[in-house]
Structure 1
C-alpha cells in the first residue's frame, strides 16, 4: 500500500544530531503552540497523518557522535526523506555549543551534504539562543555554565565544560574559523551591527554576503529581537518550491516561531504525579552533570555505578550491566530515586580506564557512545518492565540517541515544560512498559545542581 501525502503542509522539519538536542527544539516549537512530534526516524506521510495534523516534526538522530566519514551515509537519506515531506524549512539541529570537530560529527561536512540535497540560495547558520544562555556576537560564541542556571558566561574555547570535552573539545570560539577547519565552503556573517540597524540594513548585509560568494551565512544573536529579525530573513529566503536548509541550535526554531504569530502559545501543563521513584541514567562526562549527581546523592538518591570500560570487553560486559541493574533494582524497590552513572567528573578513574580500553582496542569514537547508551537504555527498560521506576531521565548528548532506541521509544510529544532545553516528554512505543512514559532527555550541560532533585518531586 502506498502512503498518501499529508494534506497539512509542514512549516518545519528538523534532524537533530542527538536526542537531547531534539527535545530542546521540540520544546521551543510546542511552547509557541505549534503541533509538533519527534520521531526516531523520518516519518512517512501515513505516520504523520496518524498523529496529525502537525505543524512541525523532528527526527532524533545520532550524527553528533559519528565519525565524519560516516555522515553522508546517515544524513543523505535522512535529508532526502525530510525534503520529500515538502516542509517550508528543514533544519539540521546542533548543540548550542556547536559540538563538532573535523573527525567527529563535522558540521562543515553536514553543510556540504545539505547543500547537495537542498537547492536553496544559501544555508543560514543560527547558533545564538539567548533563552539557553548562548550568545553569538561578531561570529564568536559565548555560553553560560549550566543551561537555566546562574552559572558564569564564558567564551566557548574557555568554557569549563567545553575546552576539555572528551570527544569534541572547543579550541575556537569564532564559529567561521571553526567551520573553515571542516569545509572549504565560504561562510559569511551578518553581525549584530547589521541586525541592530533594522530590517533593510540586515537584508542588505545578507545580500552583500551572498554577492561575495558565501554559500552559508552565520547570523549573530544576542537578544530575542535579533532572533526575530533573523527569522524575518529566513522566512523571506524560503521558497514555495523547495525547503530552505539551515544549521544551528534551537535558535532557528525561536527565530521562525516568532514569525508564525497565528499559533496560540501553548497552555502550561502540570507534571502528572507518580508514586514510583525517578530513575536517572547518565552517560555524561560533563562537570555540570557531575555536580547534579553529587547534589542528588546528598539529597536522598541512591547510586548504581556502571563500569563503562567493561562494556567494551565482551567477557565483562554482561556482568557489568547485571551488577548495575541489581543495584538500581534494590534502591528502586526501597522507594529511593536512583542515578545510574558512568562518570562523576574529570577525576573519576573510570574515564582513564575507558580511554585506555579505547586505545588498546583501536575503537572508533562512536562505539563508546553506542555501548554506554545501549546499556543505559536496557537497564531503564528492565526497571520499567518490573514496574519499579516512574519517570526516567536520560543525561548525556552523545549516548542519548542510543539509550532512546534501546528503550524502544518510537516518538515523543512534549508533556511538561520542565527546564529550558529539557522538557518532560511523553513517549510512544509498542512496548506497554514504555508507552506513555514521562521521560526527559537532558544534555550534559543543561540545568542547575538541583535538576535531578527537582524532577524527582
Structure 2
C-alpha cells in the first residue's frame, strides 16, 4: 500500500473513537478518523502519522465482529503500524455475544502476530480506575463504584457488567491468560517496568493486563510499552483513550486548541440525545440555549408522525432556535437498541434534509455510530476539546451542505451538565477551522 503510519486505532463505537482522535490530536499527532477504510492516497495526502477506523463493533454480535475485522486486517498489515490500539469503552461493557472484545482481539492476533497484547484497565481522566484487575467507575451520584455494582453499568440494557475482574470478564470472551501487573508493582518498578515487561515477554508471556489508578501509572505504562513492537511486529493494546494518553506524552488541556488559521461560520446547533442514561437526562434538563423537542414513541413508530416531528424541528431551526431533540427516559419505544438508533438516525436525516445547520451533537455511543454513517460523512478531524471525553470534530462529506459540519459525539455517561450549552457557545465563538490535529507533525 506504500503508506506507513505509527499508530492505528480501531474504535468500537464513534464516540469513543472521536475521543481518541482528540487525545492524539492534542498531543500533536497528524491524525484523521475514517468511517471506511482509507486508501494510501488519502493518508499520504495529509502526511498522517496516526489513523483511526470507526466501527460499530460494540453493538455487533461476535460473529459479525470477526467477519468485519477480517476485512480490516489487510489494511492494518499494509500500513505497518508500530501500535495497534483496539479502542473500547472505558467501562469495558461487552459480552461474549455482543461487542465481544475477545472476538476482535482473536482476529487481530491471527493476522498481525503482535509482539504483545496489552490490556490497559482504567482511564483516570474520566474517573475510571483499575485496581488489582478490578474496574471501578464514577456514577451519577458522584461516588466511585466497582463496575459490577455501578448503578448504571450493572443494569446496562445490552451488556450489563456483572463481573468487575477484567481477567474473568475478558476470559469469558476468549481473551484468556492475562498476566496482571497490579498498581503496586507498577509503582515499585516505575524506572524499570520496561525491562520487566521485556523479561516477561522473553519468558513467553504474551498477554498482560495493566492496572491504572492515576495519570502517573499511565505515564509509567506508556514509557514501558513505547519501545515494544520495534522488531517489525506491532504492539496490540486494548483499552480506552487512556492508551493514547499513555503513549502520547503531554496533552493540551480541555478547551485549548492548537494554533491554526481561518475562522469558522457561526450558526445553529441541532442536538440529538439518544441516550437515556441519568447523566444525559441531567444534561438535557440543564440545557438553556435550546428549544427542547421530546421524542414520543409515535414519532418513531409512524412515518407521518416522524415527518411532522422533523418538520417541527426544522421550522424551529429556520426561526433561529437551536433544537434539542431527546428521548424520554421513562417512555417505552417498543424496539431494540439497534432499531431505536436506526430510527433516530432517520429522524436526524429528515431534519437536516429540511434545514441545514452548522453543528450537530449526538449523545449516545451506538446512536452516534449509526447517525454518522446515515448522514454520509467520510472522515472526522479534531478541532477542539469541549469537555472531559467530549470533542468537537470537523466532518468531511461529499455532500456540500454537510462538508465541514461540526460534530460533537459523546457517550451517554460522559460530559458535565452544561455540555450542550457549552457546545452552542463554542459554535458561536470565532475559532480555527483547520483541524488542530493536522497542523503539525508529531515531534
| TM-score after normalising by structure 1 | 0.85
User: Unaligned 5+ residue runs, structure 2?
Assistant: 426-443
Structure-1 residue corresponding to 2:332: 350
Task: Output aligned runs, 1:227-376, within 5 Å.
Answer: 227-258=218-249, 267=258, 275-296=266-287, 299-307=288-296, 311=300, 316-341=301-326, 343-345=327-329, 348-351=330-333, 353-354=334-335, 358=336, 366-369=338-341, 371-376=342-347
**Using a 3 Å threshold, how does the CA distance of structure 1 residues 245 and 380 change in structure 2: closer, same or farther?**
farther
SS at structure 2 position matched to 1:163: helix
Distance 2:358 2:168 in 1: 45
Measured against aligned partners, the alpha-carbon deviations of 1:68-94 in whole angstroms (never above 9, x if no partner) come to 221111111113312211111111100
Measured against aligned partners, the alpha-carbon deviations of 1:311-355 in whole angstroms (never above 9, x if no partner) come to 5xxxx45334313212211221232221122x332xx1225x33x
Structure-1 residue corresponding to 2:434: none
**Using a 3 Å threshold, how does the CA distance of structure 1 residues 447 and 144 change in structure 2: closer, same or farther?**
same
1:447 paired with 2:438, answer no
Whether the aligned pair in 1 keeps the contact of 2:96 and 2:173 (CA below 8 Å) is yes
Whether the aligned pair in 1 keeps the contact of 2:2 and 2:78 (CA below 8 Å) is no
Structure-2 residue corresponding to 1:362: none
Distance 2:186 2:217 in 1: 6
Whether the aligned pair in 1 keeps the contact of 2:124 and 2:213 (CA below 8 Å) is yes
User: Unaligned 5+ residue runs, structure 1?
Assistant: 359-364
**Using a 3 Å threshold, how does the CA distance of structure 1 residues 103 and 271 change in structure 2: closer, same or farther?**
farther
Task: Output aligned runs, 1:102-117, within 5 Å.
Answer: 102-117=96-111
Structure-2 residue corresponding to 1:18: 13
1:157 paired with 2:148, answer yes
1:381 paired with 2:352, answer yes
SS at structure 2 position matched to 1:128: coil
SS at structure 1 position matched to 2:271: strand
What count of residue pairs does the alignment treat as equivalent?
421
Distance 1:95 1:390 in 2: 28
Measured against aligned partners, the alpha-carbon deviations of 1:227-286 in whole angstroms (never above 9, x if no partner) come to 1221122222213423222211011111111299xxxx9636799675532210122122
Whether the aligned pair in 2 keeps the contact of 1:268 and 1:417 (CA below 8 Å) is no
What is the aligned counterpart of 1:33 among 24, 28, 37? 28
Distance 1:442 1:272 in 2: 24
Structure-2 residue corresponding to 1:62: 56
Whether the aligned pair in 2 keeps the contact of 1:24 and 1:250 (CA below 8 Å) is yes
Structure-1 residue corresponding to 2:430: none
Cα distance, 1:141 vs. partner?
1.4
| TM-score after normalising by structure 2 | 0.87
Distance 2:157 2:81 in 1: 36
Cα distance, 1:215 vs. partner?
4.2
Measured against aligned partners, the alpha-carbon deviations of 1:155-205 in whole angstroms (never above 9, x if no partner) come to 212223211111111112211111122116311111111110124653465
Whether the aligned pair in 2 keeps the contact of 1:269 and 1:417 (CA below 8 Å) is no
Distance 1:274 1:310 in 2: 32
Distance 1:158 1:327 in 2: 41
SS at structure 2 position matched to 1:349: coil
Whether the aligned pair in 2 keeps the contact of 1:292 and 1:449 (CA below 8 Å) is yes
Distance 2:44 2:349 in 1: 31
What is the aligned counterpart of 2:116 among 122, 127, 138? 122
Distance 1:81 1:244 in 2: 16
SS at structure 2 position matched to 1:285: coil
Task: Output aligned runs, 1:132-211, within 5 Å.
Answer: 132-145=126-139, 151-183=142-174, 185-199=176-190, 201-203=192-194, 206=197, 210=201
SS at structure 2 position matched to 1:448: coil
**Using a 3 Å threshold, how does the CA distance of structure 1 residues 208 and 168 change in structure 2: closer, same or farther?**
farther
The root-mean-square deviation of aligned C-alpha atoms, in Å, is 2.6
